[in-house]
Amino acid sequence: MTQSPNNSQPLDAPRPTIPLPRGPVPQAPPERERRSIEIKIDGESVAVAEGSTILDAAKKLGIDTPTLCFLESLSPVNVCRVCVVELEGARTLVPACSRKVEPNMSIRTDSERVRLSRRLVLEFLASSVDLSTAPAVHAYMDRYDAHPERFGSARATVAQPVIIDNELYVRDYSKCVLCYKCVEACGVDAQNTFAIAVAGRGFSAHIATEFDVPLPDSACVYCGNCIGVCPTGALMFKVEYDMRQAGTWNESRQTQTDTICPYCGVGCDLTVHQQEGQIVGVTSPVDHSVTHGNLCIKGRFGWQFVQIQPVDPDGK
Amino acid sequence: MILLWGSNARETHPIFFHHLLKGIRNGAELYVVDPRRTSSAQWANLWLGLDVGSDISLANAMGREIIVAGLANEKFIQNATSGFEAYKAHVEKYTLERAERETGVPAEAIRRMAHAYGSAPRSQICWTLGITEHHDAVDNVVALINLALLTGHVGRYGSGVNPLRGQNNVQGGGDMGAIPDRLTGFQHVENDQLRAKFEQAWGVKIQPKRGWHLSDMFEAMEHGDLTMLYVLGENPADSEADRHRALKRLGGLEFLVVQDLFYTSTAELADVVLPAAAGAFESEGTVTSSERRVQRVRRTVPPPAGVRDDLEIIFDLARRLGHDWGTPDPEAIWNELRPLSPMHGGMSYRRLEEMGGIQWPCYDESHPGEMFLHGRLWSEPLIGPRAPFSVVEFEPPVDQLDEQYPIRLTTGRRLDDYNTGVQTRKYASPLRRKEALDVSPEDGQFYKLREGEKVRVTSRRGSLVAPVRFDSALRPGLAFLSVHAHDQIATNELTIDAVDPKSGTSEFKATAIRIEKV
Amino acid sequence: MDLHFTDAQATAEERVAVDSEMGAPESSWQSGQRQDSDRRDNDGQSSERPIGDTRTAFAAFGGDAHGRRHRLLPVLHAIQNRIGWISPGALNYIGLRLDIAPAEVHGVASFYGMFSLQPRPPIVAHVCDDIACVTRGSDKLCADLEGKIGPAGSSCSGGRAIWLRSQCLGLCERAPAVLVTSAGEKSHERVSAPASADAVESLMDDAAQGRLPAEPDVLNVQISVPQSAQNRAGKESEFLPLRLLHRIGKGGAPTLETYQKLGGYRGLRKALDLGPEGTLGELAASKLLGRGGAAFPTAKKWEALFLQRDLLRHDPARAHCVICNADESEPGTFKDRILMEGDPFAILEGMTIAAFVTGARQGYIYLRGEYALAAERMQRAIQSANENGFLGDNILGSRLQFNIEIRRGAGAYICGEETALFNSIEGYRGEPRNKPPFPTQSGLFRQPTAVNNVETLVNVPGIILEGGSAYARLGTENSAGTRLFCLCGHVARPGVYEVAMGTALRQLIDLAGGVVGSGKLQAVLLGGAAGTFVGPQELDTLLTFEGTRAIGATLGSGVVMLFDDTVDLRQILLRIASFFRHETCGQCVPCRVGVVRQQEALQRLVIAKPLGSVTQEVAMLREMAQAMRDASICGLGQTAASALESAMQRWSLFA
């Protein structure tokens, strides 16, 4: 060993005071007090803190509002419009997910106008997008009696080939409802990599890398946070995709267990999805204060070493 | 203001960096000190590309500038610290000009950083191995602590000195007493009173003297003082600096036991290999993260046939040695330590579950845990001892550059890999490229190299052949190798085991090399 | 930020184009080419600076981490104008220079119709086939071009040029219209209107051989502003004197000198005397309502910013902003273009008064990308105003500070929506934002912003000069002042007309010489594609906000487009539906899919192959219309069915 010179004052004497004495419990600076705002929803009064949305207030009353593009951890883009509600005095319906409550608002969540718009939105989506891996949307469609087939069979859709350009995840934009969530997760709301963006305009607007280059040529760092937020299965773990193709994917035989990522010291919570003793996917809870649902490539995909079976009974 | 020093957190701590980015989006300033213009540095308001190992000079000059500019927090210094006068006298000679000479960073940049750090209402310093993988690792750390004491950026919300821990439970290992001089909860083994508490609880005598740290052990192997080694979940054959020497030492052992998930390079040398379950996925227990948050790990899938949990192996080993500890129960073991380790006292499994982990210290079941440490330093009158300034002197890396070895090689991690790659090399990362020696485009031109061309890389200890890749994040004279792919490039053939005597860490970050065409 | 680029490299010419807009790179980190000042010599030796300052603060508006991002649209224009398309290499270089991820640059560039992301010949003839030009022979023009050159997209002039069909170009008074753009070291934009296939072909040939005339276009006042002849002759008429159009054409191309001679800048001087409160008082008394379509009280908008002036004083990061919305893109609308071409200083004066009242120091004119002559004249006017102390740091010696920058749109109708316009200026996709917050609270760069239409601003100097109550006496009780109308289609003298509010539709049509074509009026489209159809029986409607509202119509942007009885209205409706299908930004579901389903249903009705029955199709169209109106984010989706609905209400078109 090369013994190095070292000229600082010795610090390695036993410290009788370790562990250090208790001080006051540290506190975060107090949050600004938010006044309580009372509004009426479907005739019922509800009070929520200033800055809350109509969606928050509706949730408090136990009203189930359909959402697609909304996620707690992302900035609301309010583009799917399936959450629209009727605000008394407003010319148009308003999106519950982003509209902040104001005193004395009176809201209707199940009026004829609301039902019509929600139904049409669902019909528009289901008539243009493959929603076969979006069970939540099907439940909404039953609820609002949506019949997308009434637009005929010659209607325009976003059908296109599946993109498999890497070993970790698959992109099937036939299933994309353009909710912007993946772009937000890749961008300013979490990962800040900006490997994908909305490109084009109108009905041909789509999620793309620059010039649609394959992911391995793009800025993608495979954090998989886009998959974590995708509501329709347009973005899917390759493992899941392959199992679905092979007909072995079976959610009723899956369980989820939380553990902590084995890599760096940040302490990310991993929700491990297993089927028949095999890991089939990793997510993270949106409400976890460390991850907010986000992971990196190692946390999301670096578990495959667990699946490797010993090749020899000695364990070698 | 966030000062990221010797850390490429964008790639090594990606989810921590998300939080940091939120700060940047909210208007926080980021300063990055790193020899390479890393992906983290590209987010900075200012990047300071210092010479490898010149951190103390930079920190001392910052300290001097903060004092000269009147940005020192005199009240805090007076109330809560000791040794300020000695520190002030010591850093007086670290002028900006001297620091520019020693670090290569322009004086103006150092001045800007000092002022930004000193004048921001909240500043914090985060570091990683760029600070600690040096022969004067602990000195580097205290040089940064000095800055926090000087400005009072410690013990308050949003401030502090924050080592970003590199492994999911390196903090927990220390907490639990897996360091040579401490018992669980950082209680010093050489303190009779503390030791007596454990002896009483466990009904055994504990050696009253500290043990060896890793580098001590390897030296002891050299001298024949250590002849048997039981390695759990480490791969020193790949990870030790100066690999050639490390292998010789391991090979000289009389008996080597390796307990690991895989048949690692170290396992290949072993007399007995014990196949173990994967801690994070196949066993129950807790780990402690970089923010001192104790969290539960759980068995998510059963381990493969014939593979056993670490606890079971240790329990069986105890049984063979004549101690029947019964059936291993992680929660019972945890509850055994809670009364012994005050900082874990309030962490029942139930609370850990409910609260999504708890940050120590957590003294009792009504205590919420503490989001930051050292708040006591702001109490008046001060609770506990004063926080000491330390006097540290700049000293260049041990492995010096000369005509023969003109290039500075530094090492680090890449985003998609981890340490010696035992776990990460098992998944198909689309980011993974064939490992290569990264050099600056200018050096590529100077040595008349093509990208991908193989070169011989030689240090004073060893030599290897590697393809080159040009990386404009590097300046001429600076090269980079990752530590992940020892099957392709055994980086530690080159590195030096100049060890920091206080921490036992080798100077992985600074190797002198030369590059030759083959 | 950490950026990752593909291997595609910009050519030297592409770099020059970007650098001409951005200046030379400050460091190698922005240029991709290393220079000595950006790196370090050998380790251990003192040497050159290794500092890379990666995030230059955008001081003027503060806070935005993407400090250079707002330069994106001008830089994309620079590449498009120089090269004729935006290559992967150019895109990478833009990302590097502006610190924007390439996927984001691509997302923005692909949003705009004027940018090509595929190789394309440098010369492009954009041939309007929209509803106004259709009434004036654009079908024949396109057929002729198909005959001579081949279908749209075919090249000519030795492969150096192609022709494409286009949306309304805002040249409706000279329909059918063609815009020829020519990329190169010196780029050109030339208009041919009314156009013939021969004229278009020879224009393309001239462009290919570098023989284009110097001026982008000429404003022929006699044609575009038919009232100007009477105006010049000093003839009395019930519609005179003109307040908004009176300077246009007087004294040739507009200069600051002529402008002042014709009364210009007296309004501003008076405002400076009155002070902000006094000015605001006059404006409130005038009852001026915005002329862009939404008819919001201008005084109220400015007052909202005025009331935030204290915050402005105490927070250096705050900066109020005034924007002139000159992205006139509503099919059939061309009044703002003519104001810009003919009286640019009046717009600057209006904006400067706005700045004085609102406390804004920076103004933007968001100018439609296709309007070359207007852009040139506005640019020249800004320069002249700057040089003569009418803009800059000490306006008229009053210490008023105000600067104006022109931002050109790039072929996106939606960017006329004010919040989409903000995103466009900021360098994002021109997608509307949800309101609230309203622009007066959080607009451009999230700062309080007043957005006003060109015509609104041109009204302002006169109001201040003559007093608000004098102005309020013009027009009707609820619709004060005069109003510009764009007459086009089957009308004898198409052009922009100024009449007092409250003039009957019939009078206005008579003023323009009556109906041509077959001479028998079938329908009038008021307000453009987002407007409403009215029938011959409704010609006595008074042109006021309340008068049109009473018959379920709208004044909108002032379009009055006439269709004679030979026109197949179903085809016009289909063209409008196609327009919306082309122009929806695609952000929200009801609009993105709704306009497609609407166009599909209309197509089926036109070819008489309804799904189920006509009744079912019509019911479905009505349902879709309601959902689009109720659930869309912005006015585009909310009005995308309005023309169709108004037509279905008045005529049974599909029986």
Taking 50 as the pLDDT cut, the residues of chain C under it are 35-66
Residues of B with CB below 8 A from C55's CB?
43-45
CB atoms inside a 10 Å sphere around CB B71: 17
pLDDT of residue C42: 30
**Cβ of residue C37 closer than 8 Å to a chain B Cβ:** no
pLDDT of residue C57: 25
**Apex CA A289: angle with CA A285 and CA A295, to 5°?**
55
Distance in angstroms (rounded) separating the CA atoms of residues B137 and B134: 5
pLDDT band, residue A21 (cuts 50/70/90): confident
Contact (CB<8Å) B406/C42 = yes
Distances (CA, A) of A286 to A178, A190, A293, A295, B431: 21, 12, 4, 11, 26
CB atoms inside a 10 Å sphere around CB A234: 27
Chain A 111-150, residues with CB within 8 Å of chain C CB atoms: 113, 116-117, 119-121, 124-125, 127-128, 150
Chain C 515-574, residues with CB within 8 Å of chain B CB atoms: none
C33: nearest CA partner in chain B: B472
Q: What percent of chain A has pLDDT over 70?
A: 91
Touching subunits of C (3+ CB pairs, under 8 Å) are A, B
CATH architecture of the domain with range B170-359: 3-Layer(aba) Sandwich (3.40)
Question: Which residue stretches of C165-252 are H helix?
Answer: 197-208, 221-224, 227-233
Taking 50 as the pLDDT cut, the residues of chain B under it are none
Task: Give the H/E segment covering residue C563.
Answer: strand C559-564
**Apex CA C316: angle with CA C314 and CA C322, to 5°?**
100
Chain B 54-113, residues with CB within 8 Å of chain A CB atoms: none
CATH 3.40.50.740 in chain B, residue ranges: 170-359
Distance in angstroms (rounded) separating the CA atoms of residues B246 and C543: 93
Burial readout C489-520 (b: 16 or more C-beta within 10 A, e: otherwise): bbbbbbbbbbbbbbbebebbbebbeebbbeee
Nearest in space to C606 (alpha carbons), one of C618, C620, C594: C618
A vs C: CB pairs below 8 A: 173
Q: Which two tokens stand for residue B324?
A: 């029947």
Residue type for position C369:
G
Distance in angstroms (rounded) separating the CA atoms of residues B511 and B184: 36
Q: Residue with structure tokens 């090749």?
A: A311
Q: Residue with structure tokens 């610090």?
A: A11
Question: Cis ω on the peptide bond leading into residue C437 (within 30° of 0)?
Answer: yes
Distance in angstroms (rounded) separating the CA atoms of residues C351 and C357: 10
**Cβ of residue C519 closer than 8 Å to a chain A Cβ:** no
Beta strand ranges found along C73-177 (DSSP E): 123-128, 155-156, 161-166
Instruction: Name the DSSP letter for residue A121.
Output: H
In this complex, which of B219, B295, B367 lies closest to A267 when CB atoms are compared? B295
Q: Which two tokens stand for residue B458?
A: 């030689």
pLDDT by residue (tens digit) across A213-248? 999 999 999 999 999 999 999 999 999 999 999 999
**Cβ of residue B380 closer than 8 Å to a chain A Cβ:** no
pLDDT of residue C56: 26
Q: Residue length, chain C?
A: 655
**Cβ of residue C33 closer than 8 Å to a chain B Cβ:** no
Q: List, in order of start, the domains of chain A with CATH numbers.
A: 169-307 (2.20.25.90)
- Judged on CB neighbours under 10 Å (0-12, 13-18, 19+), C615 is exposed
Bridge partners, residue A274, by sequence: A255, A279
Distance in angstroms (rounded) separating the CA atoms of residues B498 and A218: 40
pLDDT band, residue A22 (cuts 50/70/90): confident
A vs B: CB pairs below 8 A: 272
Which of C419, C584, C593 should be substituted to probe chain A, the one whose Cβ sees the most A Cβ atoms within 10 Å?
C593
Instruction: Report CA dihedral (B332, B337, B338, B341) to the nearest 10 degrees.
Output: -170
pLDDT by residue (tens digit) across C557-614? 999 999 999 999 999 999 999 999 999 999 999 999 999 999 999 999 999 999 999 9
CATH 3.40.228.10 in chain B, residue ranges: 2-164
Distance in angstroms (rounded) separating the CA atoms of residues B293 and B342: 15
Distance in angstroms (rounded) separating the CA atoms of residues C139 and C133: 8
Task: Give the H/E segment covering residue B265.
Answer: helix B265-268
HEC string of C423-461 equals HHHHCCCCCCCCCCCCCCCCCHHHCCEEEEEHHHHHHHH
The DSSP annotation for B223-244 comes to TTS--EEEEES--HHHHSSSHH
User: Which of the listed CATH numbers 3.40.30.10, 1.10.3720.10, 1.20.1440.230, 3.40.50.720 matches domain C569-650?
Assistant: 1.20.1440.230
pLDDT of residue A310: 56
Residues of C with CB below 8 A from B52's CB?
43
A184: nearest CA partner in chain C: C104
Instruction: Name the DSSP letter for residue B362.
Output: -
**Cβ of residue B299 closer than 8 Å to a chain A Cβ:** yes
CB atoms inside a 10 Å sphere around CB B89: 10
Chain C 410-429, residues with CB within 8 Å of chain A CB atoms: 412, 429
**Apex CA A44: angle with CA A39 and CA A49, to 5°?**
35
In this complex, which of B48, B51, B441 lies closest to C44 when CB atoms are compared? B51
Instruction: Report CA dihedral (A274, A278, A280, A281) to the nearest 10 degrees.
Output: 70
Residues of A with CB below 8 A from C626's CB?
113, 116-117, 120
Q: Which contacts of A140-146 are long-range, i.e. CB under 8 A and separated by 24 or more positions?
A: A140/A66, A140/A82, A143/A66, A144/A115, A144/A118, A144/A119, A145/A119, A146/A119, A146/A122
What are the residues whose beta carbons fall under 8 Å from the beta carbon of B62, sequence distance 6 or more? B110, B113, B114, B117, B147
Contact (CB<8Å) B499/A1 = yes
CATH architecture of the domain with range C482-564: Roll (3.10)
A137 three-state secondary structure? helix
What are the residues whose beta carbons fall under 8 Å from the beta carbon of C8, sequence distance 6 or more? C87, C88, C89, C91, C92
- Could you give phi then psi for residue B77, rounded to 5 degrees? -60, -45
CATH architecture of the domain with range C123-208: 3-Layer(aba) Sandwich (3.40)
Nearest in space to C595 (alpha carbons), one of C536, C532, C641: C641
Residue type for position C202:
S
Beta strand ranges found along A76-144 (DSSP E): 84-87, 94-95, 106-108
Contact C485, C496 (CB under 8 A): yes
Residue with the larger pLDDT of the pair A244 and A20: A244
Touching subunits of B (3+ CB pairs, under 8 Å) are A, C
Q: What is the rounded average pLDDT for all residues in chain A?
A: 91
In this complex, which of A78, A100, A124 lies closest to C594 when CB atoms are compared? A124
CATH code given to domain C1-33+54-117: 1.10.10.1590
Bridge partners, residue C489, by sequence: C562
CATH code given to domain B2-164: 3.40.228.10
Q: Which two tokens stand for residue A315?
A: 């364990």
Bridge partners, residue C343, by sequence: none
Distances (CA, A) of B398 to A2, B136, B394, C363: 9, 10, 12, 60
**Cβ of residue A89 closer than 8 Å to a chain B Cβ:** no
Residues of B with CB below 8 A from C31's CB?
none
Task: Give the H/E segment covering residue C140.
Answer: helix C138-148
Residues of A with CB below 8 A from B289's CB?
260, 265-267, 290
A154: nearest CA partner in chain C: C600
Which of C27, C38, C43, C66 should be substituted to probe chain B, the one whose Cβ sees the most B Cβ atoms within 10 Å?
C43
Ranges of each domain in chain C: 1-33+54-117, 123-208, 256-471, 482-564, 569-650
CB atoms inside a 10 Å sphere around CB A32: 7
CB atoms inside a 10 Å sphere around CB B464: 20
| Domain C256-471, CATH homologous superfamily name and number | NADH-ubiquinone oxidoreductase 51kDa subunit (3.40.50.11540)
CATH code given to domain B407-517: 2.40.40.20
Distances (CA, A) of A99 to A38, A140, C442, C462: 15, 21, 15, 40
**Cβ of residue B25 closer than 8 Å to a chain A Cβ:** yes
Contact C103, A219 (CB under 8 A): yes
pLDDT of residue A182: 97
Residues of B with CB below 8 A from A257's CB?
298-300
- For residue C5, the distance in angstroms to the closest alpha carbon of chain B comes to 13
Contact (CB<8Å) B500/A299 = no
C252 three-state secondary structure? coil
